Structure 1
């Protein structure tokens, strides 16, 4: 089986996830306007303005989750040690990315006047990430889960 589509797809998912992690991790350094630009909930933006721990904690957690997605992509590519439940994780990450991307459709249908470039680009980017993880999951599912044991 050609490994190139899986490698490219998972590398794309990893890059998007890593970028998402970084922009969340730098949020506390860039302040409340950055949180607002990233579409953080109002209470998170208010937390950033008040200097409480809620905003940076949420940013760190979301960034951590995105970093874990990148780790699973690298693991799926064979670029690092195999992580637990790799196939399941890739499927779940793919589903979340695809759903995040498709969430734009009902929003566009019901309140198109509220859509802006950030919403459209964000949804497309996460849809592409979801596709990358889906291709990687499919190819990982088709291949062996673990190296075959040597006969002793």
Structure 2
């Protein structure tokens, strides 16, 4: 199968989203130290320390969203069956990722990171 640049980009995005989803699931197994290393919000870290359900449920939810991103990316290049509103979902996902990536600029300037 010969892939053009668009297909290669979507495949790369799918692989990255899958890896991130697996990482979130591994944080549950790794415990508090893994959540700290992953720079999770303080509420998630405290939940992990206290053994409440917020940390694992949050991680599972985020992993589910990331796996959904993977499925949409793979659907767009035809590796999985066509999903309704794939184009709309990819536009929304890309927009959210761009907005989230722009947050790092003010954070670096203020010295938060």
1:84 and 2:78 matched: no
Structure 1, unmatched stretches of 5+, are 116-152
Task: Determine which structure has more spread, i.e. the larger CA radius of gyration.
Answer: 1
| Number of residue equivalences | 112
Matches within 5 A, 1:1-152: 4-109=4-109, 111-112=110-111, 114-115=112-113
**TM-score relative to the length of structure 1:** 0.70
Partners of 2:88 and 2:79 lie apart in 1 by 18
Larger RCO (CA within 8 A; separation ≥ 6)? 1
For 2:32 and 2:44, the matched residues in 1 are separated by 9
Q: Deviations over 1:20-69 (max 9, x none)?
A: 10000111100001111111111111111111111100000001000000
TM-score for both structures, normalised by structure 2: 0.92
What CA deviation, in whole Å up to 9, does each residue of 1:49-95 have, x standing for no partner?
11111110000000100000000000001101111201100100111
After alignment, is 75-84 or 93-102 more displaced?
93-102
Gaps of 5+ in 2: none
Give RMSD over aligned pairs: 1.4
Task: Report how far residue 3 of structure 1 moved.
Answer: 5.4
User: After the TM superposition, which parts of structure 1 deviate over 3 Å for at least 4 consecutive aligned residues?
Assistant: none
